[in-house]
Amino acid sequence: MKKYIKAVLLIIVYTIIYLAFMLICEIVFGLTLGGGYGELAKLLQETGAAGQPQIREAAYAAAEIVNAYMLRNSGIILSISALLSLLTYTRIYSARKMSLFSVLNMDRRPAGADLKNGIFAGVSVNFVISFVFVLLQNFKFIGDALSNYNAQMETAFGAGGVAQNLLGIGIIGPLVEEILFRGMIKRELESVSKWKAAVVVQGVLFGLYHFIPLQIIYTIPIGIYLGYITYKTGSVWPAAAGHIALNSLSVLLTAPGIAEVFGSPQFSLLFIVFSVYMFASSLRYFLKREPDRPENGASA
């Protein structure tokens, strides 16, 4: 019983650390660099001895500024919060007399075929999701929610510059998330359950972590598949390669000029066909691949 409680507590701590650093960075940078604190102070000064409604109004105004700043600077905020989380994780493992990267087998060079098929999975999933969203826009009951979601994602991916977003949203964020979900969380789950249950549960947690309902719908199966890839390869790197490919492609597709080209019907059909081929190739490879269970890896 103790080992189950320990695993659950560690998973909660790992997740809270990541979310807390994200929230702190959003609030701190939004209030300072974004100007939210200045707006809050100005409104409170204008109202003088403000009553509860005025204070609430000032808080809402500041919150809107923080949210706008967060969307415009998602890349840099994600980079800082993810790196702070990673530093904390390495310290936690060090306190437990373990090396984070050794335990997760990240100090071992991954096979080229594993990386290639991981990238295939990420690229193909990106185009398939985009195509499904285009189809769903024709349905009234989900079209409005999807339009709002797309606008929010375009703001997050398209604002702040391609280089900044590629670094944070495309590379650093996905890498640390893979270390968290396919690495540490999956490892703790495998210590108290079979690998299949661990793969499914970490995928569900990965989906729920995104909070936005439309994201949860497709990030749960993505998380499960990335967990399966990690199980088969015995390494976080192939899943990280897929996650990085998926997110980086999303950033690039929102860059000026590129979105119009890839959004044309001819290109959409071409890339959907190509994506189905890449996904089938990736799935076939990992299904046939024998699980790699190195000494430092979690037990099956």
pLDDT tens digit sequence for 29-50: 776 766 566 666 666 566 655 5
Residue 298: pLDDT band (50, 70, 90) is very low
Question: Nearest-CA neighbor of 110 among 166, 158, 182?
Answer: 182
Contact 93, 100 (CB under 8 A): yes
Residue 242: pLDDT band (50, 70, 90) is very high
pLDDT at 166 over 80: yes
Contact 221, 204 (CB under 8 A): no
Backbone φ, ψ for residue 70 (5° rounding):
-60, -45
pLDDT at 265 over 70: no
pLDDT digit string, tens, across residues 51-92: 556 666 766 776 777 777 777 778 888 999 999 999 999 999
SS3 264: coil
Average pLDDT over the chain, rounded to an integer? 82
CA distance linking residue 209 with residue 203, whole number of Å: 10
Dump strand ranges (E) for the chain. none
Per-domain residue ranges of the chain: 109-288
Question: Nearest-CA neighbor of 130 among 111, 149, 116, 117?
Answer: 149
CA distance linking residue 143 with residue 133, whole number of Å: 9
Question: Nearest-CA neighbor of 127 among 281, 270, 286, 283?
Answer: 270
Q: What tokens does 9 get? A: 């507590």
The confidence score (pLDDT) of residue 25 equals 87
CA distance linking residue 97 with residue 101, whole number of Å: 13
Contact 143, 270 (CB under 8 A): no
Q: What tokens does 239 get? A: 């899943």
Contact 89, 278 (CB under 8 A): no
The confidence score (pLDDT) of residue 100 equals 93
The confidence score (pLDDT) of residue 300 equals 32
pLDDT digit string, tens, across residues 180-239: 999 999 999 999 999 999 999 999 999 999 887 778 888 999 999 999 999 999 999 999
The confidence score (pLDDT) of residue 118 equals 95
Give the global pTM: 0.84
CA distance linking residue 219 with residue 113, whole number of Å: 24
For the chain, the straight-line distance linking the first and the last C-alpha, in angstroms and rounded, comes to 19
Q: In residues, how long is the chain?
A: 300
Local structure of residue 42 (DSSP, 8 states): H
